[in-house]
Amino acid sequence: MRLGVNTFIWRSPFDTGRDLDLVGHAADLGAEVFEVAVEDPATIDAEALAEALRVRSLGAAVCGAFGPGRDVGDADAGVRASTLAYVARLIALAERLGADMVVGPSYGSVGLARALSDAERRAERERVVGALREAAQEAAAHGVRLALEPLNRFETDRINTAEQGLRLCDDVGHDAVGLHLDTFHMHLEERDSGAALRAALAAGRLFHVHACENDRGVPGRGQVAWGRVADALRAGGYRGDVVIESFTPEVRSIAAAVCLWRPIAPDQDTIAREGLAFLRTLLA
Q: Which amino acid is it at 152?
A: N
Cα(5)–Cα(28) distance, rounded to whole angstroms?
Answer: 12
Cα(36)–Cα(26) distance, rounded to whole angstroms?
Answer: 11
Cα(143)–Cα(126) distance, rounded to whole angstroms?
Answer: 26
Distances (CA, A) of 141 to 52, 96, 127, 135: 26, 13, 22, 10
Beta pairing partners, 60: 34
Active site amino acids: 149, 245
CA 9 to chain centre: 13
Cα(49)–Cα(109) distance, rounded to whole angstroms?
Answer: 27
